[in-house]
Structure 1
């Protein structure tokens, strides 16, 4: 299979024209067109066709886009691994965590790890739980710390996960809110304006799941942020309700910055998971980090 020509086709499809692909790849337009046409002829297929003054994908060409995107993403990861081998001779630990993990849990673990393994680079990326899992699956992270969303790994022989904490999601408001420290129904709290993170965040997914289970209209998200701290600060300012992990909420309750709204009769359990590749597929310092996390869960 001629991967070079497939890359040419991919960039033509991505940019929408041979001209733009030529500018991006620094290859002449005639060379790109000739190689794609030859590939089509050799394989008795058609990937692109003229429509008006432009090119469009054929049904087969359209089918190839997603697998080619995955293929070239893996190719990029191989290149990054080789680059990291040269740039970080002692190793680089890549941690992907959701906002809860990177704001509450990972900073302590990363600090303890660096005290013991000072030569290993540590790169921490904050994403939502869904993207943390995706980064691990796509070999863009060595460790993922995320909230359980009922998502299993695509290849259970390669990946594994363990539960670190089990807490619950809580409805929180500012102390002056009408529902502060009150007991209300899910339907009543769902009628309030909500402040939440973006789609794909575990808390938001669980909130909408609860509403579906109780057969009530889900809340309207009046303010949406890409960060947990921004969400909390907006609630602290006195507008709306949010739904957050008790690991975040409890310290703020003690400082009287936020208060809880009690909603009886619902189950809002939240598992914090640590996902990794199995030991035979990871470097020793990754195992050292995992051991450090396990040994410091209660301290």
Structure 2
């Protein structure tokens, strides 16, 4: 039995709006027409999607169950519409790059500039998210290239994606130059007693710090300040408050300029591998392959063997 997608869309919109009246306003479709099509849909499939409680219309348990896959269906429809719009607006192509803060602030700008010199007519869109969201965006076909730390990637991902290892980035504890622990060797326990400044929830770096604490049987630090961006985190530390645990790729220039100082914490070493991930080569447009080629030529990097 085929599904009436228009009726399913009406169900979805009513569920989102909370009432037929509000859905009618949003869709510019009469209330009787919406109600009639939903009732026909229910009758056709022998289901009940809504029930009245007082003056309110609420989802039945089955309606609630149906809502999640329906949401995915119409999210996919929107994604397809966006892809078509992108093609119409940028017939010569659009390169969508997504990465964590480290990637978009330190690595991607140079590669994007080199790419635009070669492909001036290709639109380039660069977005910054945490590593998990970068990976999910690529897997959901919302981006063409994702650059992020490998802590979020699984063996299954390695099998299904093209993965190129860019850097092995060591993380370090940093403080302001005037801090009592600047350029000192300090125990893990003493370090964790300091106020910390870290990235937002979902940050791979924050998760690794908690793992290090667990592995060393040390209570995790108290996060006194939390920022969405790595640059804001570093600026707050450089201003003289607290401690952070950050990428050496980002912090090295601050340390060289004397704006930050490193703290040596024995037996604490965390290396984060930075990956460029894309779909398999046969699914990539030519200009996406060329961006990857630019990256490979710019740095002495090695790719993990392509399982295909």
- For residue 280 of structure 1, what is the aligned residue in structure 2? 282
Query: What displacement does 1:97 show?
Result: 0.9
Q: 1:126 aligns with which of 125, 128, 132?
A: 128
CA contact (8 A) 1:158 1:281 kept: no
- For residue 218 of structure 1, what is the aligned residue in structure 2? 220
- For residue 148 of structure 2, what is the aligned residue in structure 1? 146
Q: 2:80 aligns with which of 78, 82, 87?
A: 78
After the TM superposition, which residues 189-200 of structure 1 pair with which residues of structure 2 at under 5 Å, given as runs?
189-200=191-202
- Correspondence 1:87 to 2:122: no
Q: 1:16 aligns with which of 9, 15, 18?
A: 18
Distance (whole Å) between structure 1 residues aligned to residue 80 and residue 216 of structure 2:
46
For structure 1, the residue ranges without an aligned partner over 5 or more in a row are none
Q: What TM-score comes out, normalization by structure 1 length?
A: 0.94
Query: What displacement does 1:298 show?
Result: 4.4
Task: Indicate the larger mover: 270-279 or 61-70.
Answer: 61-70
CA contact (8 A) 1:74 1:138 kept: no
Task: Indicate the larger mover: 47-56 or 272-281.
Answer: 47-56
After the TM superposition, which residues 1-299 of structure 1 pair with which residues of structure 2 at under 5 Å, given as runs?
1-152=3-154, 158-298=160-300
Query: What displacement does 1:163 show?
Result: 1.5
How many pairs align? 299
Task: Indicate the larger mover: 183-192 or 34-43.
Answer: 183-192
RMSD: 1.8
Query: What displacement does 1:162 show?
Result: 2.2
CA contact (8 A) 1:143 1:276 kept: yes
Distance (whole Å) between structure 1 residues aligned to residue 80 and residue 160 of structure 2:
17
Query: What displacement does 1:55 show?
Result: 2.1
For structure 2, the residue ranges without an aligned partner over 5 or more in a row are 302-308
